[in-house]
Structure 1
């Protein structure tokens, strides 16, 4: 009987510990939600203002992303071409660390300041981020195209079955 009480006490202690842990997590979440998005917005605004947006290479980078987005939109019906574009975008994201290292070593030849920190925040936001967004658009477009193909296939199948049923009647 003592073992049962001891097991019950251990279970009660474990439950109390779990309740305390969950309570602590909820308090942290509540305090973060009460603070709002202010700190995140402040960090974004600070990041945005730290960049000299008039540098030619930055304008070229942004133009590249806009051009790539336009190509993706215009080629939305060419699934194979978009597959190639998404593969190239993934290669660009994969190479981001090496690109960041190379540009960090050679920034003086094309930039007024070194944006290429070892953590890769800048390259992630201005290189990998837009490439990933464009790739997501390609994936969504591919899924929409596949859904359309499935509908066409099912309609053709139903028409074929209806023809077969009519042929059996005759």
Structure 2
């Protein structure tokens, strides 16, 4: 039994940069060399996307455009992963782009999807607010009509 356990432990990959055994998403993210310029640029890109998500809350059409752009970027992640896997030596020190797309999903797609979820939550909140205002106006109008009919 201990031989099977030892065999299972040795099958867990060890990261070349930090010498950590990659057993979870957290250890995977800890094994990434975040000081690489392209990763810093990606983090800045996500910060800009989040800022745009917040700023466009007041501008419905701009928010729709921003939402669609982010969805298109997530859709193209698979192609971007393939392209990056073929050309990783030109911009990175390590090959992060696996065939299953775990890395690109974690550092590229998930932050974009979180932004789109924030936008959808804002839209749902606005819809409920509008429905509440509409119902309130309907009830006020009905009360005024009933009051007029009583007075007449």
Bucket of the pairwise TM-score, normalised by the shorter protein: 0.7 to 0.9
- Which runs of no fewer than 5 residues in structure 1 stay unpaired? 1-40
Q: Secondary structure at the match of 1:76?
A: helix
Quote how far apart the aligned CAs of 1:167 are.
2.8
- Aligned alpha-carbon RMSD (Å): 1.6
Quote how far apart the aligned CAs of 1:53 are.
0.4
Quote how far apart the aligned CAs of 1:108 are.
1.4
The corresponding residue for 2:60 is 79
The TM-score with structure 2 as length reference comes to 0.78
The corresponding residue for 1:129 is 110
For CA contacts below 8 A with separation 6 or more, give which structure has more relative contact order: 1
Match of 1:68 among 36, 40, 49: 49
Greater helix fraction, Structure 1 or Structure 2: 1
Task: Assess if the C-alpha contact under 8 Å between 1:79 and 1:142 holds in 2.
Answer: no
Task: Assess if the C-alpha contact under 8 Å between 1:72 and 1:138 holds in 2.
Answer: yes
The TM-score with structure 1 as length reference comes to 0.71
- Which runs of no fewer than 5 residues in structure 2 stay unpaired? 1-21
Quote how far apart the aligned CAs of 1:168 are.
2.3
After the TM superposition, which parts of structure 1 deviate over 3 Å for at least 4 consecutive aligned residues?
A: none
Quote how far apart the aligned CAs of 1:42 are.
4.5
